Amino acid sequence: MQRRRLLKALAGITGLTSTAFVAPAFGQTSTTAKTPLEVWKDPDCGCCGDWVKHLEANGFSVRVNDTGNSAARSRLGVPAKLGSCHTALVAGYAIEGHVPAREIRRLLKERPQALGLTVPGMPVGSPGMDGAIYGNRRDPYDVLLMAKDGSTQVYESYNRPPQGNGKGQGQALPTAEGEVRKVDKAAGKISIRHGEIKNLDMPPMNMVFQVKDPALLDKVKTGDKVRFTADQINGDYTVMSIEVRKD
């Protein structure tokens, strides 16, 4: 009888002890886990550090490597033409340059079949390039979704008017030069390897454009050296005019 009472008492103590330990564990699970991200940057790059602070303020746990930016970019397959001052990796996606945390969150939610996101160059007004030193300047820029074949498309635009950048309304668009890489008449698209497009703040790269008029695609073929104008219409980079170079 005494043994039975002792066992019962011990069972009660064990149950109390288990409950005492369960409570803290339950409290810990209510804490939102931060998303891990690893970044490679130059140790003396202040804007890279500011971008890291932007991510940390938006729920990312960032592991920082102060060397290896170029090597990481090459290892992850990011084309040099899409490069910036830092490279990151999150959930299998490459993140190049000053990409806003908002778009990284969107990427992780949508999970597209892609290499990752990039903001080529270092546009003023992007996260990390938006401090007081820049005088509250906000240049237009695009976050590009990178495909594994190196092609890109606009994922989101920042600091741009919603109906284009205003250059095409009453003002002449600057001419750019390039080489036609592919003509897709069925989709109404053309791929051009081009030089700088000044009105779009777009550096030299290979880009897939919509066309304003499908008839423009009848004027060119793959391999043609061309002069063209482009604008951003309703979020899409669009060829407004194109002609084969005769020089």
Q: Please report whether residue 78 resides in a domain.
A: yes
CA 149 – CA 156 distance, rounded (Å) = 20
5-19 tens-digit pLDDT: 544 544 444 443 333
Q: What is the pTM of this model?
A: 0.56
33-84 tens-digit pLDDT: 899 999 999 887 889 999 999 999 999 999 999 999 989 999 999 998 898 8
Helix and strand counts by DSSP (H, E) for the chain:
4, 12
Q: Quick one: pLDDT band at residue 190, thresholds 50, 70, 90?
A: very high
Q: Please report whether residue 170 resides in a domain.
A: yes
CATH number at 210 reads 2.40.50.320
Host domain of residue 127: 33-159
Q: What is the DSSP string of 153-193?
A: EEEEEESS-TT--STTTTSPPPPEEEEEEEEETTTTEEEEE
Domain stop point among 130, 159, 188: 159
Question: Looking at the structure, do residues 64 and 117 belong to the same domain, yes or no?
Answer: yes
